[in-house]
Structure 1
Amino acid sequence: MKTNRITPGLSDLNFKKGKVLFLGLTMLSLLSCDKDDVEESAVAASAVTETTVADANTSKTTTYPATVLGITTSTWKINSHTGSPSKSKYWDDITDSGASFNTYTNSDYFYTDGTWTYFKTWRGLNTSSSSSNPRVELRELISGKEAKWDGSVGTHTMTWTVKVNQLPKGEDGKTGVLCFGQVHGPEKNAKGVEVDDIIRVQFLGTANQKSGAVKLKISGYITEKVLGGSKTYDGYSLGTEYRFSIKYTGSTVYLYNGTKLVFSQKMNTSTEANYFKVGNYLQSVKGMSYDGSFGLVAVKALSTKHT
């Protein structure tokens, strides 16, 4: 049998020669490439990689006060405001304004830095019909309903870490005082006694004070009515972190700073229908108009327990 041999044509030979020539020139170009060119290419590649990482790191997850503080619609109600401080509208439940509990934040009243939740209350804010003093606060709920527990039955405890950063200007223009924790009772108890706020935990200092020493002031029915007047304690300062606990058991109210008992007093009347409040409630500013003065309170690690 005769085998057919395919003889390459001239064009095929020229193509192969050109291909070899091209590859050869390419290799020579790479071999002769200047060291600086190679380093510059490596730096450029590195810069692209670093930019990509930096861009990825700039993406942030938005955090909200309710999430940071660990509160829900089952445990607390937010008392706050909408609008500017000079023309604010008070809401006993901020969700009634159309705001979402989980995402409500407002740099004028209620916000977070990712660790602390801030309660900012301005002198002259509109307030509730039952009080002339403005507030941005949390009101205790139990299973989504307004808490109403008896201080003579079981043990009821609120613990929170607080840092007061600024006091407002009071009515006299010289002093400043705000409340950052309360046990609130009914306007009148079962015996017809006006108990209202059982205990108010406050700092007392000078108008618009932002640093330095202040007094711890205990007010409310437990001191003003039972003991004949508020009680004050030295050794506290603005901008300092404290871990307070209020315990109400056996008809007696206790206040602790850490593990140290600061105050205790037994009630002299019935003790039903109580609830905790925490945040920023201005004192001694009744009837005062807005002038830019405010109090600022930071809170974290808030918890309640009923046994």
Structure 2
Amino acid sequence: MALTVHDVERFEAFRPRLEAVAYRLLGSASEAEDAVQETFLRWQAADAGHIEVPEAWLTKVLTNQCLNQLTSARARRETYVGQWLPEPLLAGDPMLGPADTAEQRESVSYAVLVLLERLSPSERAVYVLREAFDYPHREIAGILDITEAASQQLLHRAKKHVAAGKARTGIDEAAARRIVEEFLVAATSGRTEPLVRLLTQDAVSVGDGGGKIPARARAVEGALAVAKFLRGLFRPGKAKQAYAGGSPEVYATTANGEPAVVAVVDGRVVGVMCLEITAEGIAGLRNQANPDKLGRATRRWAAADHGEPLFTVF
């Protein structure tokens, strides 16, 4: 059925929220865009004029699309080369969604997105809809075709799993830049001691190269081990330039609400490293280098004012 201009406008007004929901559910910007587009096709095929509450209808359709994708994504990730990390979103990306409350900010952090991978699809859906978008259990129950009691139970289980990822400290952009600058000074000093002082004793470093960019198959654990790894990672070398396609310019910014290091070659983002900050120091470093997961970051980078690089890796 052909949509009217009004029907299209109603959908487009809600698209940013749909994308934000889908991203939290899937951990992938590209898959989130696909899920929203499929939802639009369903909207186009329906009799939109007779849908009384478009927001509820669209959210239900989208959520079920994402639940189906999560089931197949789990199978794909079992054969993924190396560590799997979410697709990063740079500061200001509308797909980050609302950030008015601590729960909303945490729900899109890299640390929590990684933890959400451990949940069942239903637990993840309830957690995202309730914590990030404040849907009441009555509406969530209708979206997932479950009872309100089941929705509450799923949220309880999800929050227990995610609780470990909530030790981070709220950081504004100015503070994030200072943290990244201090981190980079230590990382490029050629010594491990300055890095060890910034890290927690149980710090963890994880890299995702997707089998296309060299990355450790397992996480690096412990402050000293992470410091030694980072010292080598930030050491200039021709092999690294070959993989990056040139000499990366390094910037300080935020990604997924966390302090981040962004490496850029000729306007193309080639790496995003998110720093998980706690009161004790940097507890986690998650480096996304898989080029398949940096397309949206590159588009966002091109559209934003990012200032001058801190340095260039030669």
- Shorter chain as normaliser: what TM range? under 0.3
More strand by share: 1
Report the TM-score when normalising by structure 2.
0.24
More helix by share: 2
Tell which structure's C-alpha radius of gyration is larger.
1
